[in-house]
Amino acid sequence: MANAHRGEIEAELSGQRYVLCLTLGALAELEHAYGGEDLITIAQRFEAGKSGASDAIRVIGAGLRGGGNTVTDDEVATMTAAGGAQGFLTIFVRLLRATFAGEP
């Protein structure tokens, strides 16, 4: 079960429930993936709506790994979410809000 006080969310992907969390290691992974951009710059990029499917794969993948799941970004790219693209967008936004805004 996800603990909102730790920035965790729960999501269903490909019919399986997962806990996702952008831990410090997961955030460092994202900084590296974005060419060393700092967290503020990455967060501002997402707030400005400058994100796409590859961003969702990176963030959801990092969140899955931060939640203790062994999964690659290539595996995340093949997963399905209820609601299709909107479902992935919802998971993406919820995870970012749980991390940066403290919202469950």
CA end-to-end span of the chain: 13
| pLDDT tens figures, 6-42 | 899 999 999 999 999 999 999 999 999 988 888 888 8
pLDDT of residue 17: 97
81 backbone dihedrals φ, ψ, rounded to 5°: -130, 145
**pTM for the structure as a whole:** 0.92
Q: Is 91 helix (H, G, I), strand (E, B) or coil?
A: helix
Distance CA 67, CA 23 (A): 8
Residue 6 per-residue DSSP state: G
Residues 42 and 30 sit within 8 Å (Cβ to Cβ): yes
Residues 3 and 46 sit within 8 Å (Cβ to Cβ): no
